[in-house]
C-alpha cells in the first residue's frame, strides 16, 4: 500500500516564475491538505481539498492555488514566485477529519 507521494523532490526556480507541485494521496484517502514549512519552523496550513473543491484555506495569498482531480490526487500552484516562497511543501492525505499522513515533501528554492 503506497503512502503519500510527492513530486518533484527538489525544484529550483527564479523570482517571478510559476511552479506546480504534485501529490498522490495514500490509497483510499479522499482529502488532501497542503502545508508550507520554512526552515526552522513548523508546517503552516495552505489549504485543503475535498471532492475536487477547496474546503478551507489558511493565510496565504491568491498566488497560491490548487486543484484536486477525480482520482483524489492534487496539485499546488504558486505564481509570481518570491524569495520568501522557498520552503518545504508538504502534502498530507486523510480519510477522516483526523489523522493526516504526510508525504516526504518538495523542497522549493527560489533564486
Partner 1 sequence: GESVGLHLPTLSVQEGDNSIINCAYSNSASDYFIWYKQESGKGPQFIIDIRSNMDKRQGQRVTVLLNKTVKHLSLQIAATQPGDSAVYFCAENEGTYKYIFGTGTRLKVLA
- Pick one of 21, 32, 92, 108: the residue that binds partner 1 (CB under 8 A): 92
Site for partner 1 contains 5 (CB under 8 A)? no
Q: To the nearest whole angstrom, how small is the minimum distance from the Cβ of residue 32 to partner 1?
A: 11
Q: To the nearest whole angstrom, how small is the minimum distance from the Cβ of residue 101 to partner 1?
A: 7
Q: What is the layout of strands, in order, in the sheet containing 5-7?
A: 5-7, 19-24, 74-78, 64-68
Spatial CA neighbour of 81 closest among 26, 11, 2: 11
Q: DSSP letters along 1-27, please? A: ----EEE-SEEEE-TT--EEEEEEPPT
**Considering beta carbons, is residue 18 or 56 the nearer one to partner 1?**
56
Site for partner 1 contains 104 (CB under 8 A)? yes
- Pick one of 66, 68, 103, 110: the residue that binds partner 1 (CB under 8 A): 103
Amino acid at each position: 500500500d503506497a503512502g503519500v507521494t510527492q513530486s518533484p523532490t527538489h525544484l529550483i526556480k527564479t523570482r517571478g516564475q510559476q511552479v506546480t507541485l504534485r501529490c498522490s494521496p495514500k490509497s483510499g484517502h479522499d482529502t488532501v491538505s497542503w502545508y508550507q514549512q520554512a526552515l526552522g519552523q513548523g508546517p503552516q496550513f495552505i489549504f485543503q481539498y475535498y471532492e475536487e473543491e477547496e474546503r478551507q484555506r489558511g493565510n496565504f495569498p491568491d498566488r497560491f492555488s490548487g486543484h484536486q482531480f477525480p482520482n483524489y490526487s492534487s496539485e499546488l500552484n504558486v505564481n509570481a514566485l518570491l524569495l520568501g516562497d522557498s520552503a518545504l511543501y508538504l502534502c498530507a492525505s486523510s480519510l477522516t477529519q483526523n489523522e493526516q499522513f504526510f508525504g516526504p515533501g518538495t523542497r522549493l528554492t527560489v533564486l
